[in-house]
Structure 1
Amino acid sequence: MTVVDDVTATGRAVDRDAYVLDVDTHFEVAFTAEDHPLRAYADQFPTARRYVAEALTHDLREATPADSRPSDEALLLYSPPANRSYTSAAVDPAASVDPRFPSASAAERLTWMDQVGIDAALVNPGVYASLPRYLDGDRSQLVRLLNDFLADRLSGHTDRLMPVTMLNWNDLDGAVAELTRMRARGSRAFWVRAEPVNGMSPAHPEWDRVWSAATDLGMIAVLHIGNSPTAFSGWGNAGWAESGVGVGGFFRYANCMNHQAAELFITAMLYGGALGRHPNLTILTEELQVGWLPFLLARCEGLGSAGPWPFDRSPVEMLRHHIRASPLIDVGDRDVLGRWMPQLPGMLVFSSDYPHGEGNADPIGLYGPALGELDEATRRSFLGGNIADCFARMGDPLPGT
């Protein structure tokens, strides 16, 4: 367990022996043409401009007529320079790129974690993770290549750096097999996508094999930004150029409803009975903000008397038990500890999003005096105890907890 000073050089106050778990970091590296995990498909890679533009505006770009959408060049201005650097390296490894990735190896990442007081981290894939959707290849094979790339580079350190697994949801049996394979390689979490697959909700009993495998293996489900598609069909045809709002309105609209699909996914899992059938399953949202969660809880509370309910916990109790959310101050989660923590007790967990441009290199210090003003139990829960408990209740505690 990392020992964190009571007051550091940045002025943050935390417990000396609090367990700190960063649930959202990313592994970004400068590829060469020879070591890129998808190098066999390089001739199909999109341009860096297109890749960045689509990452920034999600589903709105494709839902907007080509003659009305802002140019990719205009959208690039909304991407932090570091993120553009990651993207260029991912899609054009043969080019001369000035990589801006701090801690691009496991050893470097651990050094940074020790400096800022983080014990362990769930390590998400880098920006290369979206490449499979552009490629004409077997989806299961593509995600295996990416999973192995991440696991290989964290090998030997997965007690602290735990890879997050990607899956091909078109093959549920294959997904279970990949979960099992990657758990053996140190993974403790996996990405989900907030949409039906082949016309079937993830809450359908056909999916129970996946959720059972996840809890049996001691793995949590992660719903990260980019895997929560917004239904923009038709709404993108808004005459962005003619209306005068241009790229500013376009970008804002593309990013104001990222939680929409997350709410559909969570409530499908709730009211479809999947959470009730899998009482130890945890769904963690990342970079989707947290301000919508109190309203969702209130709405579910208001529906409390709407007919019979087959589970011991009420719907709201189930949401508080199964759902965890990671706020990110630099993408709009303001006054997290003062405003949202009291409304979401036990649901909020700590993350850095390091090393992305919207993340922070001193993530604990970013919370400032507000972290020290929390009572000890709440502070410990937010920094790591809460999410550690989610792993422990599956019978497979994290190392060091």
Structure 2
Amino acid sequence: MPELPKIISVDDHVIEPPGVWADRLPARYRETGPRVVRAPAEMDFVGGRFTFRMAEEGPPCDWWVYEDLRRPLTRLDAAVGYERDDVQVVGVTYEEMRPGCHSVPERLADMDANWIQSSLCFPTFPRFCGQTFTEARDRDLALLCVRAYNDWTIEEWAGGSGGRLIPLIIVPLWDPALAAAEVRRCAALGVHAVCFTEIPPRLGLPSVHTDHWDPFFAACAETGTTINMHIGSSSQMPSTSEDAPAAVGSTITFANTCFSLADWLMSGVFTRFPDLTIAYSEGQIGWIPYVLERADTVWKENRGWGGVADRVTRPPSELFREHVYGCFFDDPHGVRSLEEIGVGNVTYETDYPHSDSTWPHSRELAERQLAGLPAETVEAVVRGNAIRMLHLGPDGLWTGAAR
């Protein structure tokens, strides 16, 4: 196999430095906006979810505090550098994390060590699609927090990276018109990627089967902004019972992506917005061929009574290949199915710094899984498709950054 092209990872994460909001909110909000405090943490896993509370005794932990929310930073957030068996849901401080979790120079060094040229990073405290601010009581402050995060990720995180860190914005999900305005504001600054929830009703929001989101979708289509949906961006992970261990949900995380893709393919959104692009993050890809096959069968055989005859005018598999990207980091079955999925619909990720991350072995893993494939296929999967999806320069760098 020729030398592996430098990877563009479309799913990594940033742990926001403590000053993101304190440095950017108006003075009157700096004591009520998101801020970091230090206190011990107690944690449990109950009903398929981890629960957290501040404690009086124990090792120190850094917490984000905002309205009634107390959100600790955990080793699960910043797992790189630890042996797998040492990755536990325990509280950590910034000093205990690998600096690349939150600092640009160290992140770039860790990318170099992992054969990564460029990286798209999801937020941590705002959660994967900004749910933290959508759930807030004070919507005026929440909107300022959304804009402050976006300004930080554009100006400091991506802007200080020489084009290697690609900005991914959040929007005020509680108002599609405001969301559309934020997409356009950031697109004017060179941003072409926005977070969205995989299953909106799980956040108490209208589904993609309504026209509620049309202003937001229209803004994304007009500006070439790809809608990125990370597993867990519905604030629920799949599981089977309240007493199932976390490993059950971790095994079937792709199910949320599967449900979401069926929603979008049968929604008619792609009929109304033929220039819209969506992308799924951390959902892997091996399950996609069956879902497309089944969706085509349902569309052909059952559309008379299935409620889609007037909104889905073409086979779902065709819509998928024109509008949807999936991504993977360790999916040998998916690699064997690339032709069925569509070589042009698959991207690569490393999930830095989470517990599933392949850092610092992403290059070796990609070389092993992609061995024997044509050079042009490897190029498309590890970088070419990401360049097209994110409107990067031909060199794989974000063109809105200082170069």
**TM norm. shorter chain > 0.5:** yes
- Preserved contact between residue 23 and residue 350 of structure 1 (Cα < 8 Å): yes
Structure 2 counterpart of 1:3: none
Alignment-mate amino acid for residue 152 of structure 1:
E
**Aligned pair 1:217/2:223, yes or no?**
yes
The one of 128, 131, 152 aligned to 1:149: 152
- Displacement after TM superposition at 1:271 (Å): 1.4
Distance 1:33 1:384, change over 3 A: closer
Distance 1:31 1:87, change over 3 A: farther
- Displacement after TM superposition at 1:283 (Å): 1.5
Q: Could you tell me how far apart the structure 1 residues matched to 2:20 and 2:389 are?
A: 40
Distance 1:187 1:314, change over 3 A: same
Alignment-mate amino acid for residue 365 of structure 1:
E
Structure 2 counterpart of 1:120: 118
Larger proportion of strand: 2
**Aligned pair 1:344/2:341, yes or no?**
yes
My pick for the range that moved more, 256-265 or 26-35, is: 26-35
RMSD: 3.9
Alignment-mate amino acid for residue 372 of structure 2:
E
Q: Could you tell me how far apart the structure 1 residues matched to 2:39 and 2:122 are?
A: 23
Distance 1:183 1:362, change over 3 A: farther
Q: Could you tell me how far apart the structure 2 residues matched to 1:388 and 1:78 are?
A: 32
Q: TM-score, normalised by structure 1?
A: 0.72
Alignment-mate amino acid for residue 169 of structure 2:
T
Deviations, residues 212-256 of structure 1 (Å, cap 9, x unaligned): 2112212111111220444879x65x5x3xxxxxxxx32133334
The one of 91, 96, 99 aligned to 2:97: 99
Distance 1:177 1:46, change over 3 A: farther
Structure 2 counterpart of 1:318: 319
Structure 2 counterpart of 1:82: 79
My pick for the range that moved more, 159-168 or 197-206, is: 197-206
**Aligned pair 1:286/2:286, yes or no?**
no
- Preserved contact between residue 166 and residue 190 of structure 1 (Cα < 8 Å): yes
3-state DSSP of counterpart to 1:119: strand
The one of 257, 270, 279 aligned to 1:275: 270
Distance 1:212 1:318, change over 3 A: same
- Preserved contact between residue 21 and residue 145 of structure 2 (Cα < 8 Å): no
Quick one: percent identity of the two aligned structures? 22
3-state DSSP of counterpart to 2:355: coil
- Preserved contact between residue 19 and residue 385 of structure 1 (Cα < 8 Å): no
Distance 1:183 1:296, change over 3 A: same
The one of 237, 254, 258 aligned to 1:259: 254
The one of 21, 24, 29 aligned to 2:8: 21
My pick for the range that moved more, 345-354 or 21-30, is: 21-30
Structure 1 counterpart of 2:389: 390
Runs of 5+ unmatched residues, structure 1: 1-5, 8-12, 64-75, 90-94, 241-248
Deviations, residues 266-302 of structure 1 (Å, cap 9, x unaligned): 2222212101222222221112233332221121122
3-state DSSP of counterpart to 2:348: coil
The correspondence of residues 1-400 of structure 1 with structure 2, limited to 5 A, is 13-14=3-4, 18=5, 20-28=7-15, 30-31=17-18, 40-41=32-33, 49=41, 60-61=48-49, 79=76, 82=79, 88=91, 97-102=95-100, 104-127=102-125, 129=127, 131-132=132-133, 136-138=137-139, 139-153=142-156, 154-157=158-161, 159-193=163-197, 194-196=199-201, 200-230=206-236, 236=241, 238=242, 240=243, 249-305=244-300, 306-307=302-303, 308=309, 313-329=314-330, 333-337=331-335, 339-346=336-343, 347-359=345-357, 360-391=359-390, 398=393, 400=395
- Displacement after TM superposition at 1:140 (Å): 2.3
Distance 1:26 1:147, change over 3 A: same
3-state DSSP of counterpart to 2:350: coil
My pick for the range that moved more, 348-357 or 155-164, is: 155-164
Q: Could you tell me how far apart the structure 2 residues matched to 1:257 and 1:36 are?
A: 39
Deviations, residues 363-400 of structure 1 (Å, cap 9, x unaligned): 22222333231112211110121233335xxxx55453
Structure 1 counterpart of 2:64: none
Q: Could you tell me how far apart the structure 2 residues matched to 1:47 and 1:182 are?
A: 36
Q: TM-score, normalised by structure 2?
A: 0.72
Distance 1:230 1:43, change over 3 A: closer
Q: Could you tell me how far apart the structure 1 residues matched to 2:75 and 2:91 are?
A: 15
3-state DSSP of counterpart to 2:386: helix
3-state DSSP of counterpart to 2:172: coil
Q: Could you tell me how far apart the structure 2 residues matched to 1:40 and 1:85 are?
A: 31
Q: Could you tell me how far apart the structure 2 residues matched to 1:42 and 1:267 are?
A: 36
Larger proportion of helix: 1
Aligned length: 348
- Displacement after TM superposition at 1:311 (Å): 5.8
Alignment-mate amino acid for residue 347 of structure 2:
V
3-state DSSP of counterpart to 2:221: helix
- Displacement after TM superposition at 1:110 (Å): 3.3
- Preserved contact between residue 228 and residue 258 of structure 1 (Cα < 8 Å): no
- Displacement after TM superposition at 1:172 (Å): 0.5
- Displacement after TM superposition at 1:304 (Å): 3.5
- Preserved contact between residue 259 and residue 288 of structure 1 (Cα < 8 Å): yes
Runs of 5+ unmatched residues, structure 2: 25-29, 52-72, 81-86, 304-308, 397-403
